[in-house]
Amino acid sequence: MARAKVVVVGGGFAGVYAARRLARADADVTLLDRTTTTVFQPLLYQCATGLLSEGQITSPLRTLMRRHRDVRVVLGEAHDLDATRRVLTARRPDGSTFELPYDHLIVAAGMRQSYLGHPEFAVHAPGMKSIDDALAIRRRVMSAFEMAETMPDPEDRREWLTFAIAGAGPTGVELAGQIREFALYAIENEYRAIDPAETRVLLFDGGDRVLKSFGQHLSRSAQRALDRLGVETVFGVHVTDVDAEGVTTTAKADRKQERYDARTVLWTAGVEAVPFLQVVARETGATQDRQGRIPVRPDLTVAGHPEIRVVGDVMILDDLPGVAEVAMQSGRHAGEDVRRLIAGETRYGTPFRYRDLGSAAYICRRNALIEAGPLRLDGFVGWILWGVIHIAFLAGVRNRVGTVASWLLTLGLNRRSERAYPLSNPATAVLPYRDDAA
């Protein structure tokens, strides 16, 4: 009897956890991803601001799967799907394609940055979803200070020392805090013509507070920390235009527009499913939501297609948030369910039960938020626990040791050694995915 074939699309948290669970199955497992590494996305902003290297927050997928002989890692982007024939078509980096037949398909393709109907903003405002994005942001942040250093006109210097960030969720808040910390501590004595302390960081959001996913108390605590750090928050507005010299905002209340001159604009205001989810929806008859996510049954399968599971932040189930812990747990559950089905231990999938372990957000040095059930922590205690949690989930001993060493170096000596950046803009930070996948 032929061995079962399982294809896992996506090498993020959900895909890796699913593939690892399937390593014990009597099956040929293929893990497909458009890159060769898995990225620890919660620390991307630290890579972008020179605190950590890209190597410290990534692990090669082949290294993670090297002991699992039945798991094959394949480089390619999921491009098309024939749900009737049960064949997935993937595209290599050179544009050629190949087919992957499957008996079970686990879609963990993840989300990409959404510009809310304005994809042209991406040219001037990189998002924060990949290593390419992080390096593009690092390039813009580091080079802004270099440009300001040689500008004879004070107004030009002010524009280069102004950073505008759209979105006051965890990523936006973390980026804002890190840029101000970088200016105040890491480079305060390194320039002769400019004073890095004059750096302005503007944080825009359509809501009425930062970190809306946290409770009011923790949100207010984060606001106070940002105020002390010198981050300027602007609420009740949408960023409605972006160009090379700044942003235009529109107030939600009266539609009044205001212009902010800023040579560096960063975007963290929204996410959407990658293009392959449109293909999955077309083939399965599923209806996507505004973000492109697909509804799943309690066992994470798509209605009418018990052989297809959608996991992580691209699934819709019980209003679960698109956070790392949901991705890990749903990926693990899908992998275990498929393993049991292949082994004949069950005929049906089991309902997924999410265990909420809480949320965490870094604000600035010695200040982070932790919210887990009734537990609410901020300040130094929250910062310590935040560090422990993130180190525990990093893949690989080398990454954990290197990350702790970099944190200690930054705290003790106010240095950031990871400040190298590409001279040209990484192409995938402008166009992360091939939108003709559907």
DSSP 368-397: EEEEETTEEE-HHHHHHHHHHHHHHHSSSH
How do 375-377 and 367-372 pair as beta strands? antiparallel
For residue 155, indicate whether it is catalytic: no
Q: What is the pLDDT of residues 72-100, one digit of tens each?
A: 999 999 999 999 999 999 999 999 999 99
How do 359-364 and 367-372 pair as beta strands? antiparallel
Please provide the size of the chain in residues: 438
Cβ–Cβ under 8 Å, residues 384 and 19: no
Q: How far is CA 328 from CA 108, 245, 393, in A?
A: 10, 40, 10
Structure tokens at 61: 């997928």
Q: What is the pLDDT of residue 427?
A: 45
111: Cβ–Cβ under 8 A, 6 or more apart, which residues? Answer: 129, 271, 272, 273, 274, 291, 313, 314, 322
Q: What percent of the chain has pLDDT over 70?
A: 97
Q: How far is CA 8 from CA 5, 16, 102, 109, 276, in A?
A: 10, 9, 10, 9, 13
From the centroid of its chain, how far is CA 40?
A: 8
Residue 192, classified by CB atoms within 10 Å of its CB into exposed (0-12), middle (13-18) or buried (19+), is exposed
Q: Which of 174, 325, 371, 418 is catalytic?
A: 174
SS3 state at 287: coil
Classify the C-alpha dihedral 171-176-178-182 as positive or negative: positive
Structure tokens at 140: 């813009």
Q: What is the pLDDT of residue 346?
A: 86
Q: What is the pLDDT of residue 237?
A: 97
Nearest to 225 by CA among 256, 255, 183, 181: 181
Residues 276, 289: Cα–Cα separation, whole Å? 14
Residue 197: how many other CB atoms lie within 10 Å: 13
Residues 50, 186: Cα–Cα separation, whole Å? 10
Q: Which residue carries 């990484």 as its tokens?
A: 426
Q: How far is CA 77 from CA 177, 194, 334, in A?
A: 34, 45, 21
Residues 118, 123: Cα–Cα separation, whole Å? 11
DSSP code string of 302-343? ETTEEEEEE-GGGEESTT----HHHHHHHHHHHHHHHHHHHH
Which segments of the chain have a pLDDT < 70? Answer: 1, 425-438
Structure tokens at 142: 């580091």
Q: What is the pLDDT of residue 2?
A: 84
Nearest to 399 by CA among 64, 56, 58: 56
Q: C-alpha dihedral over 6, 7, 10, 13, to 10 degrees?
A: 0
227: Cβ–Cβ under 8 A, 6 or more apart, which residues? Answer: none
From the centroid of its chain, how far is CA 253?
A: 30
Q: What is the pLDDT of residue 230?
A: 97
Structure tokens at 407: 């944190």
3-state secondary structure 228-252: HHCEEEEECEEEEEEECCEEEEEEC
Kind and range of the H or E run holding 20: helix 13-22
Q: What is the pLDDT of residue 430?
A: 45
Kind and range of the H or E run holding 98: strand 97-101
Q: What is the pLDDT of residue 294?
A: 98
Q: What is the pLDDT of residue 120?
A: 93
Residues 58, 86: Cα–Cα separation, whole Å? 32
Q: What is the pLDDT of residue 422?
A: 81
